[in-house]
Amino acid sequence: MLSSEKVVTRSAASSARGGSRSDMAWALSDSWGGLGAASLVREGPHEPLPTFVPPAPAPRLSERVCDAMRLRHFSPRTEEAYLGWMRRYHEFHGRRDLATLGPEHVTAFLSALATRRRVAASTQNQALAALLFLYRHVLGVDLPWLDDLVRAKSPVRLPVVLTRAEVRAVLARMHGEPRLMATLLYGCGLRLLECCRLRVKDVDFGRNQITVRRGKGDKDRATMLPVSLKAEFAAHLARVRAQHERDLTAGAGWVELPGALAKKLPNAAREWPWQWVFPATRTYVERESGQRRRHHLHETVVQHAVRHAVLASGIPKRATCHTFRHSLPRTFLKTAATSAPSRSCSATRTSPRR
């Protein structure tokens, strides 16, 4: 094979005595990978091969979108919704390069949403907002036609409202934590996720106040705590604290902290003020830190309980968890209008709560 050089194997070279070695002796093998027999080995001085460092792969478009939204502190649900619309837009145009698509493609996609899928105006505007974010902040395309796109007009709809008797009928068919949470939705005007994400430190029994942290629009606000719920609420927190003490004894008791607070306050995740008011029934192990945590109660538990209670009560209305938020102010307005009939209608007219 190599006429000018001697080629021997490792075993042959070790068994041969008195024979001269060549400056370049190679060991034969069945394959260049060296997985079968002896691999080809060069004996003698040699220069090290240069280390090949592969170039870092370019980030995917979805990763760039997530980075741009997290830089602007978008909520996780907004990220999920925007990514969904971007994927649908990409698939609608046959997975073409999005940077090459123009205003006619955006208009065609939005028109198909309205004509074929018959989505609501708010849904169409959400899709438009996602595409505007994609072109401006991710692809870096700031063209005049982005401002000329027509937004659909959202009509004003009246919310579904329950009377006091209907609220009592629904709450009477609920039990446990879902009933207490539905009562807070009605008495405090909370949104569902705001109620699920309540922490112990946000409940002030002395001032009869509940503080909502990072609500809609990432804003904080304070709302009232009904006096009629204080005893039941305090008993619930006593049970939650006893469960937290058992978790601490078992080596658990951690909860998720907002932002980078876990680095600033490493022990706060196990302290009582930061615990969820409505914790989940099971724990989980966080992958990065290995901590055994307890998440808050999932919102679907309350949604299913409210749905079954509405059906069992026989109320012919499409009432959901958000209906409780609308019902209490409407009850107040009706009471005020009854006690002061001389007031004008415009004095009691308010915009629907969202």
Please give the Cα distance from 351 to 354 (Å, whole number). 9
Cα–Cα distance between 176 and 271 in angstroms, integer? 25
Please state, in angstroms and rounded to a whole number, the distance separating the CA atoms of residues 246 and 294. 12
Residues 88, 91, 93, 97, Cα dihedral to 10°: 100
> From CA 7, how far away is CA 2, in angstroms rounded?
7
Q: Which of 2, 6, 1 is nearest to 43 (CA)?
A: 6
Predicted confidence at residue 80, as pLDDT, reads 94
Is pTM beyond 0.85? Reply is no
Domains of the chain: 1-46 (no CATH), 61-146 (1.10.150.130), 164-257+265-302 (1.10.443)
Q: Which of 269, 275, 271, 211 is nearest to 239 (CA)?
A: 275
At 294 the three-state DSSP class reads strand
Asked if 267 contacts 190 with a C-beta cutoff of 8 angstroms, the reply is no
- What residues are paired with 7 via a beta bridge? 26
> Tell me, what's the pLDDT at 8?
43
Give the pLDDT means over successive 10-residue stretches in the chain (354 positions). Answer: 44 46 42 44 58 72 90 90 94 89 86 87 91 90 67 82 94 95 94 95 95 89 93 96 96 91 91 96 91 95 97 95 85 49 41 54
Residue 334: its pLDDT value, please?
53
Other Cβ atoms closer than 10 A to 89: 20
What is the rounded end-to-end Cα distance, in angstroms, of the chain? 83
Greatest Cα pair distance, the chain, in angstroms, is: 124
pLDDT at 345: 40
The backbone torsions φ and ψ at residue 209, rounded to the nearest 5 degrees and listed phi first, read -140, 145
| Contact by Cβ (8 Å): 129, 136 | no
| Per-residue confidence (pLDDT) for residue 163, from 0 to 100 | 92
Task: Choose among 341, 352, 340, 188: nearest CA to 277.
Answer: 188
- Helix (H), strand (E) at residue 282: strand 279-285
Beta partners for residue 212, in sequence order: 221
Three-state SS at 176: helix
Quote the tokens at residue 218.
């990432």
Following CA atoms 178, 181, 187, 188 in sequence, which dihedral angle do they give, to the nearest 10 degrees? -160
Please check whether residue 68 is in contact with residue 137, taking contact to mean a CB–CB distance below 8 angstroms: yes
- Number of C-beta neighbours around residue 161 at 10 A: 20
The backbone region for 243, taken as left when phi is positive above 0, alpha when psi lies in -120 to 50, beta otherwise, is alpha
